[in-house]
Amino acid sequence: MVKFGQLLPIPVATVDSLIKVGVRTEKAGFDSIWAADHLLMIPTGTVPNPWPILSVIASQTEKIEMGTCVSDPHRIHPAVFAQLTATIDQISNGRLIIGLGAGEAMNVEQFGIQWSRPVERMVEFTKIIRYLWQKESLDFEGKFWKLKKAFLQIKPKRNPIPIYFAANGRKTREITGKIADGWIPVSQGPKVYKKHLSEIKESAEKVGRKLENFEPAIYIYTAIAERYEDAISQLKKIKHQIAFSPKMVEEVYGIEIPMPDDLYSEIIVSDETIRLYEDFGRLLPDEVVEEFTIAGTPSDCEEKVEEFVKAGVKHFILINMGPDPKFVLETYAKKIIPSYKA
């Protein structure tokens, strides 16, 4: 089964609009709705806390899954996070998915929040929240957190709640194969996706893990129009958002990008760094738009979706970039999604 989800339009929409989008997404026949979990974002705009929004959407829907894309292990203590997510999973009747990543500087450095050894912290964070959901009492002596006779007085409906890692480097893909329930990489082409997914599978095999219930997803921009040029031009102006990683561009095109490999995760929100991020976009070839997205006419997008499915994608997390968002939604709802539900 192939699933289709939609990312809530944070930071461009108001809070009440985000809730309406979530409800409308279920009515359109999508499988999931996702929310960014940030304190600050690029581009700038309205950046709300995702948990109350997902909670309200859960209370106004019946089937659609909902998740964060993605949370981090730095801003909330794992016990508080485990309680928070168990509560929302109860509200949704077992429909929550947690997207979890190593984090970005923009969410911590400007607020004086410690950001050290993020990948190790993510792994320990994952262990603790799973233990708290499932154990009656927990003694835990970790590198970052220590718990003594700790327990929660609420458990999730779906226990454990699936945790998908936002793994975009070889090290985090290796960890994903060992312990995660799913994978949410950033936009990339089908060939690179297939290669990176094989790394996850190899890592799982090394520890004797089978991935029957593992869900490979992708966070990806989409634009659909009757004319191919209209869809593509809509995305060319946001190339720097589409290709997060200079390393990914170098891997695909063999060109050197004179920017930090982890540009997006290292950047903080300021006028100077936003200009740096925009400069990155000007260094990218236009081919990035075609390779790293699902864009073009409805037929073009049908073909591209199928390429990704053949590469191993089982869950699309779509960033709807128009030019007419309603047309994009209807194209997926009426033309693309039904062919994967038969």
In angstroms, rounded to a whole number, what is the distance separating the alpha carbons of residues 242 and 237?
Answer: 10
- In tens, the pLDDT along 285-338 reads 889 999 999 999 999 999 999 999 999 999 999 999 999 999 999 999 999 999
- In tens, the pLDDT along 57-68 reads 999 999 999 999
Please give the distance of CA 187 from its chain centroid, rounded to a whole number.
10
Q: What integer pLDDT is reported at residue 270 of this predicted model?
A: 78
Of 139-143, 166-170, 272-276, where does mean pLDDT reach its minimum? 272-276
In angstroms, rounded to a whole number, what is the distance separating the alpha carbons of residues 225 and 301?
Answer: 10
Task: Give the list of residues 6+ apart from residue 20 with CB closer than 8 angstroms, or none.
Answer: none
Long-range contacts of 233-236 (CB under 8 A, 24+ apart): 234/295, 234/321, 234/322, 234/323, 235/289, 235/293, 235/295, 235/321, 236/286, 236/289
CB 218 within 8 A of CB 313: yes
- In tens, the pLDDT along 216-266 reads 999 999 999 999 999 999 999 888 888 877 877 888 888 888 776 666 677
- In tens, the pLDDT along 40-58 reads 988 889 999 999 999 999 9
- Tokens (6 digits) for 193: 């996706």
In angstroms, rounded to a whole number, what is the distance separating the alpha carbons of residues 295 and 283?
Answer: 21
Characterize the bridge pairing of strands 146-150 and 138-141: antiparallel
Q: What integer pLDDT is reported at residue 290 of this predicted model?
A: 93
Q: What is the mean pLDDT of residues 205-211?
A: 97
Q: What integer pLDDT is reported at residue 342 of this predicted model?
A: 63
Question: Model pTM?
Answer: 0.95
Q: What integer pLDDT is reported at residue 263 of this predicted model?
A: 65
Q: What is the mean pLDDT of residues 195-224?
A: 97
Sorted by where each starts, the structural domains of the chain and their CATH numbers stand as 3-340 (3.20.20.30)
Residue 100: what residue type? L
